[in-house]
Structure 1
Amino acid sequence: MNIAAPQASALQDDSIEQPLLSVRSLTRYYGTRIGCADISFDIWPGEVLAIVGESGSGKTTLLNCISTRLPPTSGTVSYSMRDGVLHDLFKLREADRRFLLRTDWGFVHQNPADGLRMAASAGANVGERLMAVGDRHYGHIRETAIDWLDRVEIDAGRIDDQPRAFSGGMRQRLQIARNLVTAPRLVFMDEPTGGLDVSVQARLLDLLRGLVNDLGLAVIIVTHDLAVARLLSHRMIVMKDGRVVEQGLTDRLLDDPQAPYTQLLVSSILQG
């Protein structure tokens, strides 16, 4: 299924001629089992796309493939580099893909321990990304880290504390700061509110929505929570058994789902 750019949206202007990320016929098998199959879509600068579905639907496999953490069995993933040229990501050198993940992209894990250096200080976690883009001035790195801790509502006095001393919500906010400090153009998020208390989730979602809007980020977010998708995303892909069953503008899809599976997902939320 091909997912076109939104027609009635301020996300695109006439100066944007091509998508930031383009996925075509992406398929991943685990032996004979389908992880995801024949998936195509584009994401444009400043757009938030949610990939939703129940556990085992293939959404995390898809996210790992398009973020180059997992090679696809077939299909292509192309990214518009800062030179304006779309490059096939799996034809890049491994070192170039790793550099993208450290600089132009961000990846927010469900478990923040997977995205943080737990034995390093909060400041070092943020500063490490700055060093990856060439900043070597200790004073500037520390000043920027303090600024970002403030932006994600972590007391600057905790800059020298290790993440293991933080609560789950604080760790997740620190992981967000670590990812956004290099001003990436594209951020991948895998269940960023999963495992958090409801009150902590609400605070984190409010923070994320503000940062995404302020920074004009393109985001691909995987979630099983339709409320998260409605709050954060412009468009939504619904997956089941590794395939896309429905796609469209988020509000339209949630208010008037067409596929029986999407109707089931939406009705289960309403009944809850």
Structure 2
Amino acid sequence: MSIVEQPILRVQHLEKSYGDHLALTDASFDLWPGEVLAIVGESGSGKTTLLNAVAARIAPDRGSVHYRTTDGELHDVYQMTQAQQRLLSRTEWGFVHQHAADGLRMDVSAGANVSERLMGMGDRHYGKLRATAIDWLQRVEIDAKRVDDIPRTFSGGMRQRLQIARNLVTKPRLVFMDEPTSGLDVSVQARLLDLLRQLTREMQLAAIIVTHDLAVARLLAHRMMVMQRGRVVESGLTDQVLDDPHHPYTQLLVSSVLQP
């Protein structure tokens, strides 16, 4: 079996509690190269907790996360040192926050925001860094003339596109996205979704996207998992889950959101 035919990520039996509150229970799934997985559910369903546990942003109480590196070997993320986790997070992984200010340095230029991850990998040639930053600004539909402007002067949609450029410039293999279109105007959401769909396809990115919006899941994701009260209650191909939901909670979500 080739590397392409094996999962890039293997999540097994993750659990997380906060005091007496069980936020995540026995979550398991595989993610394949080039696959986009949506995690959906209402607020408090555990979807963001799951995303953060998989992305090594919070430590689970139980379970494991294994990531397949370019050499084809599965590595236990939680057996890595903090330095190894940080290196993974700024090279082969990306994380797009719901609020772009959480994923950007708001007081340095757009170009510096994009270049920072490249510099973390050892790139030091100013001309090359600037040219790459300008190229990526243009790829995410930001005018190259804004390269020296700080994100505080950008609109919400522009900040989110800049955050995407900052994450994808190092050509990661896996990207985590936490409600990336939430809080944006409908027209801005549509442009951002088109951009995300284009980039994930072009770059053959594996991605996990958390969203409460089933329309976003249908547009972006090959497969989806539905969460309720910390548990995965249904999973499958996105169109199959949305067009023929089996679990009562999924049926309720679909009927209340997708139908007039």
Gaps of 5+ in 1: 1-12
Q: Residue in 1 aligned with 2:173?
A: 185
Which of 120, 125, 137 is the matching residue for 1:132? 120
Residue 165 in structure 1 maps to residue 165 in structure 2: no
Contact 2:13 2:26 (8 Å CA) reproduced: yes
Whether 2:110 is the aligned partner of 1:95: answer no
Counterpart in the other structure of 1:198: 186
Match of 1:38 in 2: 26
CA distance in structure 2 between the aligned counterparts of 1:214 and 1:106, rounded to whole angstroms: 16
> Does residue 226 of structure 2 align to residue 238 of structure 1?
yes
Identify the residue that residue 3 of structure 1 maps to in structure 2: none
Letter matched to residue 230 of structure 1: R
1:242 Cα offset (Å): 0.1
The residue aligned with 2:202 is 214
3-state SS of 1:16 partner? helix
For structure 1, which segment, 106-115 or 32-41, has the greater mean C-alpha deviation from structure 2 after superposition? 32-41
Q: Separation in 2 of the partners of 1:270 and 1:239?
A: 17
How much does 1:81 deviate?
Answer: 1.4
Tell me how large the CA RMSD over aligned residues is.
1.0
Q: Secondary structure at the match of 1:26?
A: strand
CA contact (8 A) 2:3 2:72 kept: no
AA paired with 1:185? R
Call closer, same or farther: CA 1:15–1:105 in 2, change over 3 Å: closer
Q: Which residue of 2 aligns with 1:76?
A: 64
Letter in 1 for 2:92: D
Contact 2:66 2:74 in 1 (8 A): yes
Q: Tell me if the contact between 2:215 and 2:258 (Cα under 8 Å) persists in the aligned partners.
A: no
Per-residue CA shift, 1:106-137, capped at 9, x if unaligned? 00000000000000100000000111111111
Q: CA deviation at 1:38?
A: 0.2
Count of aligned pairs between the two proteins: 260
SS in 2 for 1:247: strand
Question: Partners of 1:271 and 1:84 in 2: how far apart?
Answer: 44
Q: Which TM-score applies when normalising by structure 1?
A: 0.94
2:37 to 49, 61, 66: 49
Q: Within 2, Cα distance between the matches of 1:87 and 1:212? A: 24
**For residue 214 of structure 2, what is the aligned residue in structure 1?**
226
What runs of 5+ residues in structure 2 fail to find an aligned partner?
none
Paired with 2:3 and 2:86, the residues of 1 have a C-alpha distance of: 29
Matched with 1:8 is: none
* Counterpart among 34, 38, 58 of residue 46 in structure 2: 58
Corresponding letter in the other structure for 1:125: N
1:23 equivalenced with 2:42 (yes/no): no
Moved more, 130-139 or 158-167: 130-139
Counterpart Cα distance in 1 of 2:206 and 2:198:
13
> Which residue of 1 is the match for residue 251 of structure 2?
263
Task: Please give the alpha-carbon distance, in whole angstroms, between the structure 2 residues aligned to 1:172 and 1:65.
Answer: 23
- Residue 124 of structure 1 aligns to which amino acid in structure 2? A
